[in-house]
Amino acid sequence: MITTTKVQAIDCRHFINGKFVELKKGKSFENINPATEEVIGLVAEGGKEEVDIAVTAARKALDGPWKTFTLEERSKILRRIGDLILERQDELARLEALDTGKPVSLANSVDIPRAAYNFHFFADYIISVGTDAYQQNEEALHYAIRRPVGVVGIIKPWNLPLLLLTWKLAPCLGMGNTAVIKPAEWTPMTATVLMEIMKEAGVPDGVVNLVHGFGPGSAGGAISEHPDIDAISFIGEPRTGAAIMKAGADSLKKLSYELGGKNPNIIFADADMDDVIETTMKSSFINQGQVCMCGSRIYVERPAYEEFLEKFVAKVKELKVGQPFEADTNVGALISKEHYDKVTSYLDIAREEGGVILTGGKRPEELDKGYFLEPTIITGLDKNSRCVREEIFGPVVTVIPFDTEEEVIEQANDTHYGLSASIWTTNLKRGHRVAHQIEAGMVWVNTWFLRDLRTPFGGMKHSGVGRTGGMHSLDFYSELSNITIKL
């Protein structure tokens, strides 16, 4: 069954100081639908000039009406934004599917509800937590207050566009900051609609600004270098993070980074195999494998290796790769030709490295347009293979057997990345023991991607700088000032 797209793609304009800026000739680029390879709209391209105007508006707004909003008033605004996202859920989900190529069912069940929840969660959270207060004997009382950091640059990737933008923007606004946002060039639409929502929710002009464009030499580079931006919240690749760090070094910007991952999924032979298979399907192929936390390196204890492979391959073959707006599609299109070429280049590397592709590894025959790739399982590679070490960020997983706990811990940690891991065992002692030794910011035992937004979220090593979630987000988006009163 094909459900029509109903919602038309939109042209994407900058949003600066509460107004959409007209598209200028020669300063725009084409937005491509990755499932059809068709041009679906135009996107304004901003650079230094537009970012300058946006930063000036954001700086001015810090001292405007926004400054007088109480915490409760900001909380109400966040709640209203979350409500408005839900009111426009259908439209937003369809735009997200058009932009990214992901199944609209996924956008409807994950991306957009979670984007709304990001605002609802922080609406509640900011008014329910306190700050540090200590009484030092009879001598002194110490207490901390929070102030905004200032103007925050928010630079986003394309895989979960609205979900990740709102994850940063909600606490940023909750703490009274102003923002200049740059969505990924591939996925500009839902961020643009969010600006309409900001206006409708009563966010004062200049508090949230949006400049579209690319990275270096474009809007992303201009935000990174801008001396009047106080902090940058970035999600994307480690090497982009390094470039942003260098560009912002002179102005000593505060940085929060969520970067790439090459996450191990460690399956012991005593695990509940049905549970393992069901979750591994998601942790491998949800969003075409383009989720930073996808478990792309699967390690299976040898006694369970054959059983796992047999069941996993059979299930994966049942996945339907198809158009994002077909109701039974499980796996949509990759984001772009460039990314499709990168992901498929790893299949050649795997073959050269002696890997065996058990299923997938090619474009489905019936789909001759669009960047579609069958979910792919590779075995026969060793730990030094590039496919095992590098982030592919597509529907491609490697499966490797292991014999001992020590061996699998060593292999799991043998990477520059350290974002997440998933451990499967019915031996709880072992679950704890292994979890404590895995170098990752988030370790799940007998589950994957189970989130509570109060918990720390982020990566070790090259997978991130700092943590977000709950208090960690408030700490990044505010400056704490400690006040001491002598008693």
Q: Tell me the closest approach of the beta carbon of residue 333 to ligand NAD, in angstroms.
A: 15
State both tokens at 486: 């002598």
Of 98-106, 135-143, 152-160, 368-376, the segment contacting ligand NAD by CB under 6 A is 152-160
**Does 111 sit near ligand NAD (CB under 6 A)?**
no
For residues 142 and 5, what is the distance between their CA atoms, to the nearest angstrom?
57
Q: Which of 292, 294, 387, 391 is catalytic?
A: 292
Q: Say how far apart CA 182 and CA 210 lie, in whole Å.
A: 6
Task: Tell me which of 11, 124, 237, 439 binds ligand NAD, using CB under 6 A.
Answer: 237
**Of the ranges 7-15, 110-118, 215-223, 475-483, which one interacts with ligand NAD (CB under 6 A)?**
215-223
Decide whether 111 or 258 has the Cβ nearer to ligand NAD.
Answer: 258
Backbone angles phi, psi at 174, to 5 degrees: -55, -35
Judge whether 352 counts as a catalytic residue: no
Q: For residue 310, which of 296, 300, 320 has the smallest C-alpha distance?
A: 300
User: How many residues belong to the chain?
Assistant: 487
Q: Decide: is 397 part of the binding site for ligand NAD (CB under 6 A).
A: no
- Please choose, out of 57-65, 150-158, 173-181, 372-380, the segment that lies near ligand NAD by the rule CB under 6 A: 150-158
**Residue 424 tokens, joined:** 């499967």
Per CB under 6 A, the list member of 31, 118, 166, 240 interacting with ligand NAD is 240
387 annotated active-site: no
Encoded one letter per residue, x for contact with ligand NAD by CB under 6 A and - for no contact, window 354-383 reads ------------------------------
- How many positions of this chain bind ligand NAD (CB under 6 A)? 31
From the list 80-88, 156-164, 359-367, 421-429, the region that binds ligand NAD by CB under 6 A is 156-164
Can you name the residues that pair with 465 across neighbouring β-strands?
257
Instruction: Return the number of the residue (259 or 440) whose C-beta is nearest ligand NAD.
Output: 259
Distance CA 172, CA 181 (A): 11
User: Of 65-73, 76-84, 136-144, 182-190, which part binds ligand NAD (CB under 6 A)?
Assistant: 182-190
By beta-carbon proximity to ligand NAD, the closer residue of 204 and 459 is 459
Out of 148, 220, 324, 355, name the contact with ligand NAD by CB under 6 A.
Answer: 220
Residue of the chain from 459, 466, 469, 470 that contacts ligand NAD (CB under 6 A): 459
Catalytic residue among 225, 258, 374, 391: 258
Binding of ligand NAD at residue 165 (CB under 6 A)? no
Residue 208 phi, psi (nearest 5) = -125, 125
Phi and psi torsions of 484, nearest 5° = -115, 130
Give the nearest distance from C-beta 415 to ligand NAD in angstroms.
Answer: 13
**Does position 259 bind ligand NAD by CB under 6 A?**
yes
CA nearest to 472, candidates 457, 452, 485: 457
Regarding 157 and contact with ligand NAD (CB under 6 A), the answer is yes
215 interacts with ligand NAD by CB under 6 A? yes
d(CA 272, CA 134): 47
| By CB under 6 A, residue 260 contacts ligand NAD | yes
Binding residue (CB under 6 A) for ligand NAD from 107, 155, 181, 358: 155
| Chain centre to alpha carbon of residue 8 | 25
State the sign of the Cα–Cα–Cα–Cα dihedral 237, 240, 244, 249. positive
Among 159, 209, 323, 398, indicate the residue that binds ligand NAD (CB under 6 A): 159
Q: Nearest 5 degrees, angle CA 361-CA 279-CA 297?
A: 50
Considering only 69, 121, 158, 372, the residue that binds ligand NAD (CB under 6 A) is 158
Q: How far apart are CA 257 and CA 161, in angstroms?
A: 16
Q: Which residues contact 414 (CB under 8 A, 6 or more apart)?
A: 383
Q: Which is nearer to ligand NAD, 45 or 205 (CB)?
A: 45
Structural contact between residues 95 and 189, judged by C-beta atoms closer than 8 angstroms: yes
The CA–CA distances, whole Å, from 100 to 7, 18, 97, 281, 466 equal 15, 27, 5, 20, 28
Give whole-number Cα distances, 443 to 226, 265, 287, 446, 456, in Å. Answer: 36, 10, 20, 10, 11
Among the listed ranges 114-122, 233-241, 349-357, 395-403, the one in contact with ligand NAD (CB under 6 A) is 233-241
Selected binder of ligand NAD within 14, 88, 94, 182 (CB under 6 A): 182
- Which one of 13, 74, 156, 462 is in contact with ligand NAD (CB under 6 A)? 156
SS3 per-residue string spanning 351-386: HHCCCEEEECCCCCCCCCCCCCCCCEEEECCCCCCH
Angle between helices 89-100 and 189-201 (to 10 degrees): 160
* By the rule CB under 6 A, 417 interacts with ligand NAD: no
Residue with tokens 């760090």: 245
Of the residues 65, 202, 216, 354, which one makes contact with ligand NAD according to CB under 6 A:
216
Q: What are the C-alpha distances in Å from 388 to residues 215, 299, 427?
A: 28, 11, 27
Q: Do strands 297-301 and 420-424 pair parallel, antiparallel, or not at all (unpaired)?
A: unpaired
Could you tell me if 256 and 290 are in contact, meaning their C-beta atoms sit under 8 angstroms apart?
A: no
Q: Does 280 bind ligand NAD (CB under 6 A)?
A: no
Binding site for ligand NAD (CB under 6 A): 155-159, 164, 182, 184-185, 214-216, 220-221, 224, 235-237, 240, 243-244, 258-261, 292, 391, 393, 419, 459, 464
Active site residues: 258, 292
